[in-house]
Amino acid sequence: MRGFDPLSFEAEVVGRLRSEIRGEALAAVSGGVDSAVAAVLARRAVGDRLHAVVLDTGFLREGEAAEVARELGGVLDPQVVDLSAEFSAAVSGLSDPEEKRVAFREAFYSALAGLAGEVGARWLVQGTIAPDVIETVGGIKTQHNVLEQVGIRSLERYGFSVVEPLRDLYKDQVRELARHLGLPRAVVERQPFPGPGLLVRCLGECTPDKLGAARAASGVVEPALLALGCSQTLAAALEDGGRERPDLAREVGVEVRELDARATGVKGDQRRLGKILVVSGVDYPDAAAPVRGELLAAEPGAVRVLMEVDRWGGGRLAVAARAVSTEDFMTAEACLPPPGVLGEIAEGIRRRVPGAGALYYDLTPKPPATIEFE
Ligand code: XMP
């Protein structure tokens, strides 16, 4: 962070954008700080020639597209465009996390190509930051907003040139810039949310019932766990079921089940899919960390240890809640909320998430898990 001066950065970038963008430009804002800052810099450079849109991909949280449009109303006046049918068709039948991300990226740029054509835009302003490029080029995960760096020629393929004023910055610098630019606090402080949104938080295929469960569960889990002061919190939906693992149960002295679904983890710098273990009957919170450690040592193929918080049956799906504390998002520790908070969340899920019959809480640090439950 030392050496970063938002005032001179702004002046330099606005000047550069003014000479680079010679006609109409388009910017898709997600409500996140990166895309908002990039769009505001472009608006300062080219004024009303910058057209801002909020793409409702269908994978946003409840009411999120309208909320983002409202938050950025006075600053960027973004138009909300409903593309949920297009995105849903693009990812239909896919269950591998990386395949879903790549299909999402394609749908995202195809949609933007159409919108750019409508307003005659030949430039696309986006909030790609340094870690997005590093992770995508490094094969860690495909970020939806990285194109040229992986050899996709945007002008030839989509008809616009990509402008990335933040491509050398890190998140803390972007937040500092956002404060300097006077962006609304809700935007500056917003917790990270993947570009493909709830698509990644539906494990396996993102069926309509799973998506509905992930969305409703986010509305219960996120406010409850954010209040604890963790860095990031989320809810995911997955198929329940699986098989008992008596071998592991003997080792740790509580019931252990292995789910059929797989989830992403990290080993070294690489992502991998691994097993999800569910423990029940744990003396929480005291025994949570020791049990988790023993299980991960006993089953090296596992990337997640979940604790069963409550089970009421009557649902094919389960909700997994997660909250982590982290400095840099490269490693993270699982937060352990008070039991009463988990009980309240379970009650909320039971009432508000049709199709879900159980609540699990993710005890896994990164590594071996990723922060997202993907
Ligand atoms: P993982 O799951 O890789 O996440 O441990 C690290 C951080 O990155 C966020 N994340 C994303 N952010 N686009 C983003 O802008 C994405 O596609 C994306 N996927 C994950 C994640 O929420 C966490 O903060």
Closest atom of ligand 1 to CA, residue 264: 2
- Residue 143 scores a pLDDT above 90: no
Share of the chain above pLDDT 70, in %: 99
The whole-chain average pLDDT of the chain stands at 96
pLDDT at 220: 98
Share of the chain above pLDDT 90, in %: 90
Instruction: For CATH 3.40.50.620, list the domain ranges present in the chain.
Output: 6-188
What is the C-alpha separation between 269 and 254, in angstroms, rounded?
Answer: 32
What is the C-alpha separation between 102 and 91, in angstroms, rounded?
Answer: 9
- Residue 62 scores a pLDDT above 90: yes
The CATH superfamily of 6-188 is HUPs (3.40.50.620)
pLDDT at 315: 85
Provide CATH code, domain 202-362.
Answer: 3.30.300.10
Residue 127 in contact with ligand 1 by CB distance below 6 A:
no
Q: 176-226 pLDDT, tens per residue?
A: 999 999 999 999 989 999 999 999 999 999 999 999 999 999 999 999 999
How many CA atoms are closer than 13 Å to the CA of 354, on its beta-carbon side? Answer: 3
Tokens matching residue 12: 């330099």
- Residue 164 scores a pLDDT above 70: yes
- Residue 140 scores a pLDDT above 90: no
Q: Which of 267, 240, 263, 278 is nearest to 374 (CA)?
A: 263
Tokens matching residue 178: 């956002």
Q: 254-310 pLDDT, tens per residue?
A: 999 999 999 999 988 889 999 999 999 999 999 999 999 999 999 999 999 999 999
Instruction: For CATH 3.30.300.10, list the domain ranges present in the chain.
Output: 202-362
- Residue 58 scores a pLDDT above 70: yes
Q: Which of 222, 298, 301, 235 is nearest to 267 (CA)?
A: 301
Nearest CA to ligand 1 atom 24: 192
Crossing angle for the helix pair 33-46 and 6-20, to the nearest 10 degrees:
60
- Residue 343 scores a pLDDT above 70: yes
Closest atom of ligand 1 to CA, residue 141: 3
What is the C-alpha separation between 123 and 27, in angstroms, rounded?
Answer: 9
Residue 372 in contact with ligand 1 by CB distance below 6 A:
yes
pLDDT at 2: 56
* Pairing between β-strand 333-334 and β-strand 317-325 as defined by DSSP bridges: antiparallel
Tokens matching residue 237: 């939906």
CA angle at residue 180 from 325 to 14, to 5 degrees? 120
Identify any residues that bridge with 143 across adjacent strands, giving them in sequence order: none
Residue 35 in contact with ligand 1 by CB distance below 6 A:
no
118-153: b (≥16 Cβ within 10 Å) or e: eeebbbbbbbbbebbbebbeeeebbbbbbbebeeee
Residue 192 in contact with ligand 1 by CB distance below 6 A:
yes
Give the mean model confidence (pLDDT) for residues 367-374: 97
Q: Which of 211, 223, 215 is nearest to 323 (CA)?
A: 223
Q: Pocket of ligand 1, candidates 202, 371, 373: which has the most ligand atoms within 8 Å of its Cβ, to mutate? A: 371
Q: Which of 290, 303, 308 is nearest to 366 (CA)?
A: 303
- Residue 314 scores a pLDDT above 90: no
Q: 64-79 pLDDT, tens per residue?
A: 999 999 999 999 999 9
pLDDT at 317: 98
| Banded model confidence at residue 3, pLDDT cuts 50, 70, 90 | confident
Ligand 1 center–CA 46 separation, angstroms: 31
Give the mean model confidence (pLDDT) for residues 11-39: 97
95 in Cβ contact with 207 (< 8 Å): no
